[in-house]
Structure 1
């Protein structure tokens, strides 16, 4: 059975796949949104939005958000993918034993 088919029957596989999907959504939607917003503020085309927390100066804020999204891309997402692989491996090993 494939990973997609296993998600329907095995609830323990859903959590790591949901985490990967949430991380991908945060990276693919959040990073361009925050970077474009901060670029607009830097260029003087708009004010700093109230919904976006800031940390001291605009340069510090920009740096912290870039570091945060780099952490998501290069640490959290690979760790979550390893979690999916581990959970799927455990599922496959118990599936073969039964």
Structure 2
């Protein structure tokens, strides 16, 4: 999915929400959540778009219709230490695309 497609999907309601995945190395990937499953935002070469901050994400998505967005952060410490039983869910924090405050 490219940026034009993302805007179309959000406008038509095909993309129900967005997830900003925080990955090791200090960058994020954006995924659109659709009925068919999550779809990653790609560049013109088909490579995932790496975003460096929520500010850069807001600039990239300027003009996007309102859609829920969640920052997803896996808790590596819990995975390494193995202190809890059962599956370990990532930290999910709602963020706004309208403004940083």
**TM-score (norm: length of structure 2):** 0.24
Higher helix share: 1
Structure exhibiting the larger radius of gyration computed from Cα positions: 1
Higher strand share: 2
**TM-score (norm: length of structure 1):** 0.24
